Amino acid sequence: MKIVALTGMDLTYLQEHLPADLHNRVQFHWFKSSEEAHSVLPEADVIVTAGRINPEALQLAPNVKWVQTLSAGVDKLPLQQLAERHIVLTNARGVHTIQMSEFTISLMLQWVRKTNQLHDNQMKSVWDHTLAFGELHGKTVGIVGAGAIGEAVARKAKAFDMQVIGLNRSGKPQPAFDVTVSGEEGLTQLLSQSDFVVLLLPSTAKTQRFITREHLALLKSSAFLINLARGDVIDEQALIAALQEGKLAGAALDVFEKEPLPASSPLWGMDNVIVTPHIAGSSAHYTERASAIVYHNIRAMLDGGEMMNVVDLREGY
C-alpha cells in the first residue's frame, strides 16, 4: 500500500513510530505540498491530509481508495468529489478531546478571574486589590454539540460544581450532563438558562449560521459565549452587535468567518472579547494521538477490518 501525505504538519512522529507489523506492508511518502507529490500521486492508494486537499491533486490520484484527514473537521475537503469516486474518508475525531476541554475551562476561568485585566495591571505596575471576581461554582454551562469534546467539557465543569445542559440531535440523555435537550425548543432552553454557552458544532450545511441574531437575543445579559467550533456556525456580525450593545457580557472566540481574523475587525479591540488564533485543538500530543487512528485504519484497510471515524459524506461529519 502506497500512502502519500500532503501537509505542512510535522509527521515525524507518525513516520518514526510506524508499527513493526506495517513496515513491510506500506510505503509512506510525506510531502509538504501537493506540487512536490505530483510524481507519486498517480500510484497512491491512500492520501493523508491535515484538513485540505487540492481537488487537482485528487484528480492526479486515480487509484486512491481512502483519504485520512488528521483534522476532525472535513468542511475544507472536496466531499462531493470523494463521494462520486466512492473514496472512504476518515477523520481524527477524538484527538481534540483533552486539550479542547481543558482550553474551554481555562477560558471560563480567564473570564471570571479577570486574568486579562490582572495582566494589564501587571504591565502597568498597578496594584489594585479592589477587583471583584466571579466564580464558576453554581453557574450553568450550555454545550451546543454534545459529542466527545462536549462530554469532556461537562465532566471537567462538574468538578467546579457547575450545572451542565447539553444539546445534541437526539436529546438522548448523556451521563456527563444534568440535562440533555434537542431541537429548537431545546436550544431556546439552553441559551436562556446558561451563564456560559460553548459552541462545539461541526461545520456542515445544516449548522451554518446555526446561532442567529434571534438566538443571541435569548442569552442573559451576563452570559459569556465561547466558540471553538467553526466561524460560520454563528452570525458573526450579529454577535459583534450584541457584544457592543451589551446584550451579552462577553465572548471567547477561537474561530471566525474569515481567518486569519482581519486587522479591521472590531473584535480585536473589544475589552469583553478574548481572541485566539484557531488553536484550541493544539497540543504537543496531537500527532501522537492522531497516529494511533492512522495505524488502526491502515490495518483495517489492509486486512478488511472496521475503520475508525468514517465520515458520512452526505452529512459532512
pLDDT score at 69: 98
Contacts for 36 with CB less than 8 Å, ≥ 6 apart: none
pLDDT at 255: 98
Tell whether 110 and 199 lie within a shared domain: yes
Instruction: Quote the pLDDT of residue 77.
Output: 96
The reported pLDDT for the residue numbered 146 is 92
Instruction: Spell out the alpha helix ranges (H) of the chain.
Output: 12-16, 55-59, 79-84, 97-112, 115-123, 148-158, 183-193, 213-216, 236-244, 286-303
260 with 114, same domain: the answer is: yes
Which pLDDT does position 252 carry in this prediction?
A: 98
For residues 102 and 230, membership in a common domain is answered with: yes
Burial of 139 (C-beta count, 10 Å sphere; 0-12/13-18/19+): buried
Residue 311 domain flag: no
In a domain, 308, yes or no: no
Residue with cell 485540505: 52
CA–CA distance, 113 with 135 (Å, rounded to integer): 7
For residues 129 and 269, membership in a common domain is answered with yes
Q: What is the span of the domain harbouring residue 291?
A: 2-95+284-303
- Indicate if 180 and 208 belong to the same structural domain: yes
Q: Clarify whether residues 118 and 176 are in a common domain.
A: yes
Judgement on whether residues 172 and 257 belong to the same structural domain of the protein: yes
Determine the 3-state secondary structure of 143 from DSSP.
Answer: strand
Return the active site residues.
Answer: 230, 259, 278
**Residue 254, pLDDT score:** 98
For residue 65, the model assigns a pLDDT of 97
- Is 309 a member of any domain? no
How far is it, in rounded angstroms, from Cα 208 to Cα 202? 9
CATH number at residue 254: 3.40.50.720
Q: Are residues 247 and 137 in the same domain?
A: yes
User: Is 169 inside a domain boundary?
Assistant: yes
Q: What is the pLDDT along the chain (317 residues), one digit of tens a residue?
A: 999 999 999 999 999 999 999 999 999 999 999 999 999 999 999 999 999 999 999 999 999 999 999 999 999 999 999 999 999 999 999 999 999 999 999 999 999 999 999 999 999 999 999 999 999 999 999 999 999 999 999 999 999 999 999 999 999 998 999 999 999 999 999 999 999 999 999 989 899 999 999 999 999 999 999 999 999 999 999 999 999 999 999 999 999 999 999 999 999 999 999 999 999 999 999 999 999 999 999 999 999 999 999 999 999 99
Integer CA distances (angstroms), 206 to 71, 127, 276, in order: 20, 49, 25
264 plus 214 within the same structural domain: yes
User: What pLDDT score does 101 carry?
Assistant: 98
295 and 234 inside one domain: no
Closest CA to 108 of 129, 85, 137: 137
The total domain count for the chain is 2
Dihedrals phi, psi of 85, to nearest 5 degrees: -95, 5
Among 177, 179, 187, 190, residue whose Cα is nearest residue 150: 177
Q: Is 315 a domain residue?
A: no
Q: What is the DSSP string of 53-86?
A: --HHHHHT-TT--EEEESSS--TTS-HHHHHHTT
- Whether 125 is covered by a domain: the verdict is yes
- From the list 78, 84, 19, the residue with the least C-alpha distance to 49 is 78
> If you count them, how many residues does the chain have?
317
Residue 314 lies inside a defined structural domain of this protein: no
Quote the pLDDT of residue 168.
Answer: 94
Report residue 55 as a C-alpha cell: 481537488
Gap between the terminal Cα atoms of the chain: 26
pLDDT (0 to 100) of residue 167: 97
37 with 58, same domain: the answer is yes
Q: Is residue 231 part of a domain?
A: yes
Which cell numbers hold the place of 309?
Answer: 471515524
Q: Answer left, alpha or beta for residue 261, where phi above 0 means left and psi between -120 and 50 means alpha.
A: beta
Q: Kindly state whether residues 91 and 194 are assigned to the same domain.
A: no
At CA 182, angle to CA 240 and CA 149, rounded to 5?
A: 70
